[in-house]
Structure 1
């Protein structure tokens, strides 16, 4: 009888992201995997799940929808997707700060691709960017003139 090759059993109830090449990422994946007390949610962002998140961001139609995506990221990954006007004058979408916070286990590629997708969507839908600025009272005070 031939020896059957078994794949290692994952200690997680969900698929986890494959390891990045050595030196390519600083996500501390191994440390998070070995610590039973660590928040393991960022490991659930596989490349497939990341693509689904990017597709979801591309479908954002309103500021409320953008806030909903932020809530989903917070709930499912335990990381904050921060989107706010920059400290200086905002003339373009580049003046809006979009950051997916660093979280142990969250891949560097995801921390770059998610904010880039949000910026693209804000550029495609300026009404969402205006609503974001208005929510931070950048347009609210102009009504008093």
Structure 2
């Protein structure tokens, strides 16, 4: 590790269990280390926060905060076919070094649970994508 890191970082995954390239990121002098701030405890807090989102504005706020503080880009887009349920939405995190495989799965799953509890947010997402038009 060639850099001195002034904050606690996420523990490394067991060998072969993840493809996050954490070591490569730590050894890159120009690497964006913000993602490593997301410790396991902080990830659990974030998941809880996402699951308790109650409005589209709150979802957008969390997206902006995740990108600003951690460099995580959350993408929520309607699927290529009809969107009849929350399963019709594509929810994913943009790949980047240091982003753990478990995190890439847990955050979209938390968003999906939030959307299942709050269908009005799904309608706002569809409306923002102009799928509902003037309906």
Q: TM-score range by the shorter chain?
A: over 0.9
Q: Which residue of 1 aligns with 2:93?
A: 100
Q: Which residue of 2 aligns with 1:58?
A: 51
1:130 is aligned to 2:129: no
Tell me the SS of whatever aligns to 2:75: strand
Q: Which residue of 1 aligns with 2:33?
A: 40
Structure 2 length-normalised TM: 0.94
Number of residue pairs matched by the alignment: 133
Structure 2: tracts of 5 or more residues without a match: none
Per-residue deviation, 1:137:
1.0
Structure 1: tracts of 5 or more residues without a match: 1-9
Q: Distance in 2 between matches of 1:96 and 1:71?
A: 19
Q: Which residue of 2 aligns with 1:112?
A: 105
1:30 is aligned to 2:20: no
Per-residue deviation, 1:133:
0.7
Q: Distance in 1 between matches of 2:45 and 2:127?
A: 29
Q: Retained in 2: the 8 A contact 1:100–1:115?
A: yes
Describe the superposition over 1:91-144 as per-residue Cα deviations: whole angstroms up to 9, x where unpaired. 0101011001111011110010000000011001111111111111111243xx
RMSD (Å), alpha carbons: 1.1
Tell me the SS of whatever aligns to 1:84: strand
- 1:87 aligned to which of 64, 80, 83: 80
Of structures 1 and 2, the larger Rg is shown by: 1
Q: Distance in 2 between matches of 1:82 and 1:97?
A: 8
1:17 is aligned to 2:10: yes
Query: Runs (4+) of structure 1 moved beyond 3 Å?
Result: none
1:121 is aligned to 2:114: yes
Per-residue deviation, 1:79:
2.2
